[in-house]
Structure 1
């Protein structure tokens, strides 16, 4: 900066612009997931505690719900601690010559060199005044929410094995898997194992659907 520019800025009373102080909620939007996990865990806890248990078989029908509640409480607590310690603040800087990618991804892939970072810091005026766009993947969210709703509505008609396998395939597809035959096979395997576990170990039968009428 020249002496003339320095004097001009000093005479005009301009102050250096610093970074705005981040709010507590910045980068901590995942607390919504924590709240949902705690809500589901509390709902299952109340339902398990008020369950009308007939007989004194061991481990009993309350065993698996209690395990699920413990896992939900533990997962929500660990996630809350992680969010408090390391908030996921989006990177709003521009990295020229690397397309529409975030800095974290570029560093992970090893495509962001130190030389280009130094060149960018030395000549920031040559880069466009553009910020990264942060967004939610509403397509994936819609597929997951729609899949769970369809699973609840079709559980009685299709039965546990088919509806759970279909839900597994839809979740895998929403998260990027493109192997439908493999995913459906894995879904059928796990849903069948769960059906047998509930029937043999707990004496409980999950909804058989129209498949139960065939056999």
Structure 2
């Protein structure tokens, strides 16, 4: 009686896409490295292309600080990347009261981004008091407050107070808009 050889089991290891995803998840700090690298290159490029008067009065000119900051950003990006690639990991924050297994609340993020963009667009035509009130009320609404009579009143008071403090007391001019001619 002859027995046929048993089939060898095929390895059921992770697929290449799965391996790549887990590698990226394990090395997610590299995203911070890329951000620091891009920021450092941007700062250095801006510093080197800066139009400056060559007659300066001392050894430190207007390019010195941006050059030092840009070089520092590049150095930190490279050192952090080397640490991450050697297996270093950032320590998880112990004080946060969040569940890392829960997905991100994209509705809140998108509402806040929309409120900030609307404020940027409306601040010139409507002025800071109106745009600021919309910003404060929209942020409160996006973060979960649903007091539809109280929140707009508080937002209007905060925006007007901010406008008066910056414009009148600190001397930082903010756009008043059409309502400032009436008030």
Using the size of structure 1 for normalisation, the TM-score is 0.41
- The TM-score with structure 2 as length reference comes to 0.48
